[in-house]
Structure 1
Amino acid sequence: MVIQKIGAHCFKFSAGPVTVAVNPPDAKSKLKVNKFGSDLVLVSMRHPDWDGAETASHGETRPFVITGPGAYEVGDITVSGFSTTTCYAGEECDVGNTVYVFDMDGIRVLVLGALSSTKLPQDLRAELDSIGIVLVPVGDGTLDPKAAHELMVTLEPKIIIPYGVGDDGEAALQAFLKAEGEMPSPEEKLTVRAKEVAQRDGDVVVLR
């Protein structure tokens, strides 16, 4: 599996010929990323900054788009979406945010989206055993650095990929890294296999 940060809080997961896009921004958003092709798009929040499936559509590639809770199977990828809330960008804190758990290339991935609270629903907690990789937000109404760190301690993922959100995102990211006790150099991409993930122990990876 290869993981890349496309820009803002948009990530791309690739395994062989299959690509999953996570939270690409809409063309109307002030957040700009280059268009790319994907087979599956996961959208956590119905907001232009997070909901831009057309950004992950290129040429004749038209992805399957998931925008909310439920159980899905797309090719060899299984996805479960769970309803949570967010206070992103000053929104009222009852705005919907979908947290996703998906299995790809033998690795279980947790996508927290714009999550603001560490109080996860019980049906989601039941799915959090053996999380290989987690994408965790900090800043701008999502998790604050301390809460994000405490959640990672609880979840015990093998690999943690944090991302700063909004104008205070970089400062929030640095505060989170300090709480984790790690200051890794940013990487262009993460290439990892399932057996390698199993040997990790809460490693923090920052993608640029």
Structure 2
Amino acid sequence: MTAIAACLTGCAHIPAASPQTPGQPTACVAGPPIDLQRYMGKWFVIAETPYLGDNDYVGSYDEWTLRADGQITDDYRGRRHSFDQPVTGSHFVAKVVGGTGNTTWRVGLIWPFEVRVVTAYVDPEYHHTIRCMVDSNMVWVLSRSPTMDEETYLDLIARLAGMGFNVQRIRQVPQDAGQTSPAGSE
């Protein structure tokens, strides 16, 4: 994920994932179980809560590939600052947390550091998804397409607000040089 890539460049102080402290509220709650095979593939970052160095990426996307060992190759790619820059990115390996219906992944940053990323929502057609960090600090709105109509975008943002996320922190990520915002509005 975008923010995870930023962790590699300036956030090595993140501790290894640990269980949620009892009584600590979080907006990041897993949705229904997901079909992992169907969930694999390319997902464009439509919006996110930027973290450190990822707030200047454009055209960013994640690509997930299920490996023979059951782990997931998690490749993040994007262009830093502008569309005329080369595509760069990061490579991670994720492991599905057992008993979560494939919704929670432990994503390795640099050994021994990892984060837990949760799928909070995926639409029935697997065209749009919302993912978040267990601590609710970061959230991503992703789409199979680099564009998203305004109604869908606003529905997903409303869903996030209903879950308790601070939607004022969310930034739209342009997916092409002519795009001012993924939903077509500022």
Same fold (TM over 0.5): no
Q: Which has the higher contact order (CA 8 A, sep 6+)?
A: 2
TM-score norm. by structure 2 comes to: 0.38
